[in-house]
Amino acid sequence: MSFELSRRVSSVVATLLVLLLCAPAFPGRTKAAGASASAAAKMTVEPLEIVTATGAHRLRVEVARTPDQREKGLMFRTSLPADGGMLFDFHDERPVSMWMKNTPLSLDMIFVSRAGRVVSMALGAEPFSERVISSGGPALAVIELAAGVAQRLSIAVGDTVKHPTFER
C-alpha cells in the first residue's frame, strides 16, 4: 500500500512541476511578466547619430517599438553604457508624455520630430518620479540617455538625429 501511495504522490508532484514550468501560458497567471520579458529580449540595439554644434555623435540605442517595450523602457535599470540609451518610437507624431516610475537612473529625455529634429528636452529627470514629463508639442520619438550626456554632447533644440525611424 505504501508503494502505491508513493507512486501517486510522485505523479502529483511531477504534474505540479510541469504546471509550474508552463504557468505563463495558463490563464490566471499574469501575462505582463512573460510579455515584458520577451518584449525586452526582442529589443534591438541600433546605431543612432546626433549632429550638434560640436559635431556628429554616434550612440548605440535599444529601440522600443511596441507598447510593451515602451511601457517598460529603462525601468529597473541601474546603469547605461556611456554611448547607450533607448529610442522610444511612437510611430505617430503627437504630444508625448513620459515618467520615471520604477526607474532608478536619472535620465535626459530628448524629444524628436518625424523629420529627425530635436523639438524639446527634459534634462536630469528625477529617478522614481511619477511626475509627467511632456514633449510640449508633437514628437515622433524620445531618446533617453543617462543624465548629463545631453550636456556633454551639446545637444540642443534644432539638432538633427539620424536613424531609420526619422525621415531623411
3-state secondary structure the chain: CHHHHHHHHHHHHHHHHHHHHHHHHCCCCCHHHHHHHHHHHHCEEEEEEEEECCEEEEEEEEEECCHHHHHHCCCCCCCCCCCEEEEEEEEEEEEEEECCCCCCCCEEEEEECCCCEEEEEEEEECCCCCCCEEEEEEEEEEEEEECCHHHHCCCCCCCEEECCCCCC
> What range defines the domain where residue 14 resides?
2-30
Tell me, yes or no, whether 12 and 61 share the same domain: no
Report pLDDT for 23.
Answer: 39
Task: Say whether both 79 and 149 belong to one domain.
Answer: yes
100 and 18 in a common domain: no
Is residue 36 a part of any domain in this protein? no
pTM, two decimal places: 0.76
Q: Please state, in angstroms and rounded to a whole number, the distance separating the CA atoms of residues 132 and 109.
A: 12
Average pLDDT over every residue of 3-10: 48
Assess whether 141 and 80 both reside in one domain. Answer: yes
Same domain, 50 and 6: no
**What's the CATH code of the domain at 64?**
2.60.120.1140
| 62 assigned to some structural domain | yes
Number of domains the chain contains? 2
Task: Give yes or no: residues 59 and 6 share one domain.
Answer: no
The DSSP bridge partners found for residue 67 are: none
Q: Note whether 22 and 48 are same-domain residues.
A: no
167: pLDDT confidence band, cut at 50, 70 and 90? confident
Are 59 and 85 contacting, i.e. CB atoms less than 8 angstroms apart?
A: yes
- Is the residue at 168 inside a domain? no
pLDDT band at 2 (very low <50, low <70, confident <90, very high): low
| Distance separating alpha carbons of residues 1 and 18, to the nearest angstrom | 26
Contact between 50 and 160 (Cβ < 8 Å)? yes
Q: In terms of domains, do 55 and 17 share one?
A: no
Shared domain for 48 and 11, answered yes or no, is: no
Q: Is it the case that residue 25 has pLDDT exceeding 90?
A: no
As a whole number of angstroms, the distance between CA 12 and CA 168 comes to 61
pLDDT in tens, 64-113: 999 999 999 999 999 999 999 999 999 999 999 999 999 999 999 999 99
Residues 22 and 104 in one domain: no
Q: Are residues 122 and 52 in the same domain?
A: yes
**Are 52 and 22 found together in one domain?**
no
167, part of any domain: no
Contact at 8 Å (CB) between 146 and 108? yes
